[in-house]
Amino acid sequence: MSSTYTSNLRIEKAATSKLKDVNFENIAFGKTFTDHMFMCDFVNGEWQQPQIMPYQPMTMQPSARVFHYGQAVFEGMKAYKDDDGKVFLFRPEENFKRINKSSARLAMPEFPKDYFFEGLTTLLNLDKDWIKPGVGNSLYIRPFAIAIDPAIAAAPGESYRFMIICAPAKAYYKGTVKVLIAEQFSRSANGGVGYAKAAGNYAAQFYPTNLAQQKGYQQVIWTDADTHTFLEEAGTMNVFFRINDTLITAPTSDRILDGVTRKSLIQLAEDNNIKCEVRPIKVNEIVEASKNGSLKEIFGAGTAAVISPIEGFEYQDTYYELPEIGAHSYSSMLKERMLNIQHNLAEDKHHWRYEIK
Ligand SMILES: Cc1ncc(COP(=O)(O)O)c(C=O)c1O
């Protein structure tokens, strides 16, 4: 292993690469990690020297606060490679801003922008052979931050760790999904942490999602916690509805994550002369639209799948099936447009691509 310094960043390269042992044809999402990881600790009120090192286990005291109070935030982003071997991120500044917004809500220190981008760029250059070209292939990037103080007092910690790990990903397409509209459980509450990518938000979704899966639904569409009458998110994605030729998605709030895919799709809809309304959507409106045939599509939107089409939903013990519109769907058109921009196959008029040099 060799150690070098670029500006403030300390780099320890892996002696050998694990790449040759990976079968890219058959890769399970989020289980295989690249050769290196990024790590930076916050101690005595300051971020310490950032480091890149071989991906490895780490030790931590059992009393570390993250284990007891869930003081943890994360991000999800992707890197893509074009046929010339150039590597791109998609709107990474949005993820950077969002992790600091999440950290602020969890009383954690914000991470410096130059550390984030230098760490990310260096990490991706070191591990760029792990990114395969071609639409559908990508490298999933997981920045996260945790409280590491060895102290179980229920108060914000004083020591934190910011890390970035990366996992190669294949096209994430599981076909269409059936969803259950939540009538009892909530993902987030007014004044809560729904707008943050707080680890605990996801743990809290597992149980209601398991119950939905036992009923034959892959995901839950979350409704507002007060009345369960407004549609908010689908699983871990934002959600869009198409009534006749208009797309509708809920406005972001303290309960809804401000998704990068969501805001990009709103823009792409406008670019393609598709009307998109950002407004509260009642469950009853969707039920009525399904009954009278004007409901054409529902889809989830997020980094992992870009767009995940929904084939039907259950509400109050009734199942509503969506019509099959196949290749003419907004979901397939918008997904293709997004993927082409991400993979440097289409003009990037909003300057969303960020080349890694
Ligand atoms: C709760 C939730 N909503 C929406 C999204 C979609 O956000 P993005 O498009 O930034 O991936 C995610 C995933 O990151 C999420 O966890």
pLDDT digits (tens, 9 = 90+) for 68-115: 999 999 999 999 999 999 999 999 999 999 999 999 999 999 999 999
pLDDT of residue 174: 65
Report the alpha-carbon distance of residue 262 to residue 272 in Å, rounded.
Answer: 15
pLDDT of residue 4: 52
Which residues are paired to 309 by β-bridges? 299
**Per-residue model confidence as pLDDT tens digits over 105-142:** 999 999 999 999 999 999 999 999 999 999 989 999 99
Question: Could you tell me if the CB of 198 is within 6 A of ligand 1?
Answer: no
Question: Could you tell me if the CB of 194 is within 6 A of ligand 1?
Answer: no
Question: Could you tell me if the CB of 76 is within 6 A of ligand 1?
Answer: yes
pLDDT of residue 5: 47
Contact yes or no for 86/125 (Cβ under 8 A): no
Q: Report CA(188)–ligand 1 centroid distance (Å).
A: 14
Q: Report CA(193)–ligand 1 centroid distance (Å).
A: 14
Question: Could you tell me if the CB of 92 is within 6 A of ligand 1?
Answer: no
Question: Could you tell me if the CB of 233 is within 6 A of ligand 1?
Answer: yes
Report the alpha-carbon distance of residue 126 to residue 35 in Å, rounded.
Answer: 8
Contact yes or no for 269/334 (Cβ under 8 A): yes
pLDDT of residue 135: 92
Q: Report CA(332)–ligand 1 centroid distance (Å).
A: 19
User: Which atom, in ligand 1's list, is nearest to the CA of 197?
Assistant: 16
Pocket test for ligand 1, best of 98, 172, 236, 252 (most atoms within 8 A of CB): 236
Contact yes or no for 109/162 (Cβ under 8 A): no
Q: Report CA(303)–ligand 1 centroid distance (Å).
A: 7
Give the rounded percent of residues in the chain with a pLDDT score beyond 90.
Answer: 91
Question: Could you tell me if the CB of 306 is within 6 A of ligand 1?
Answer: no
Nearest CA to ligand 1 atom 7: 259
The low-confidence residues of the chain, meaning pLDDT below 70, are 1-7, 171-174
Q: Report CA(220)–ligand 1 centroid distance (Å).
A: 14
pLDDT of residue 287: 98
pTM, two decimal places: 0.96
Closest CA to 14 of 161, 123, 87: 123
Q: Report CA(194)–ligand 1 centroid distance (Å).
A: 11
Q: Report CA(10)–ligand 1 centroid distance (Å).
A: 31
Q: Report CA(253)–ligand 1 centroid distance (Å).
A: 14
